[in-house]
Amino acid sequence: MSLIDGGLAPAPASSAGNGKPALRAAADRLEATFLSEMLKAARFGEPPSEFGGGIGEDQFTSFLRNAQADAMVAAGGIGLAEQLFRSLAEEAGDGR
């Protein structure tokens, strides 16, 4: 799971007809990536130093952040995905 895809599954191939489910999935992935980066900057999920640290903890901390970001988006997020979706859907509706 990388920060690029935000850990969310892509839209099903059958939804590619009108493009709106694909736009929604892309907006959700972008919001999850943004939230994951914000959690990283806030040092969310970093273990206390008394646990020993190490590269393994660093790797699993990123999984925790990504899972938290995905859960935040699934619960409604911060509204970024909705705004992106509306803007992209409007642009797609204009035929550009």
Query: DSSP secondary structure string, the chain?
Result: --TTTTTPPPPPGGGGTTSHHHHHHHHHHHHHHHHHHHHHHTTTTPPPGGG---HHHHHHHHHHHHHHHHHHHHTTTTSHHHHHHHHHHHHHHTT-
At 93, which amino acid appears? G
C-beta separation of 32 from 73 below 8 A? yes
> Model-level pTM greater than 0.75?
no
pLDDT tens string for the chain (96 positions)?
A: 333 444 444 433 333 446 789 999 999 999 999 999 999 899 876 666 665 667 777 778 888 899 999 999 999 999 999 999 999 899 888 544
Going from N- to C-terminal start, the domains of the chain cover: 13-93
C-beta separation of 10 from 83 below 8 A? no
What's the residue count for the chain?
96
Pull the structure tokens for residue 83: 């705004």
